[in-house]
Structure 1
Amino acid sequence: MKKHHIYKLLDLIEQINEVNKMIKLHSENDSEFMASQYRAEKAEYVAELIQTLNSSKIQSEENYLLLNRLLSEFYSNNNLMQKESINYEEEFARLGNAS
């Protein structure tokens, strides 16, 4: 992976961590509207992080394991991430209904 990709990934992780702080702050202050705005911003950063990881010419198991760890860290409170067994058909249908 090229150095500029590494710096971009580190910058995105820092931005996600900052947004997580804002989500926590607004969630604790009962400002669900602002928290939802920051969750949307976080989703954009995570999508860019995934895209940057996938843009590497070297696709390897390590890339996907790192991605798994990052998603687990950034979405540790998400009910979907905590399920032991995922019903993919149900989850994909739910996503389809959301769009």
Structure 2
Amino acid sequence: MPWITLLVAGLLEIVWATAMKQSHGFTRLVPTAIMLVGMFGSFWLLAVAMRQLPLGTAYMVWTGIGAVGSFVLGIALFGEAVTVTRLFAAGLIVAGILVMKLAS
């Protein structure tokens, strides 16, 4: 169950990061509100997952889900560049998450 909680926390990190981009520097109310709710939920679920998971593992997986998910949404929603180097870097993050999961 802590891994599912951590996954949802990571997905909410993607939500709040995307909403932050959409808020245009906190000048748009709805994306800013979505960002704040997403942040609260993400941090809360991370804290719940950390009751049973090691700090380093939980934090690394949480940030990795957020980083790779935000990277993918940046490409899909905002037309950010897709290069071999960026894809390789994202792949390294995914590999790190998998190795950390296997190690715990």
Query: So what's the TM-score if we normalise by structure 1?
Result: 0.46
More RCO (CA 8 Å, sep 6+) = 2
Query: So what's the TM-score if we normalise by structure 2?
Result: 0.44
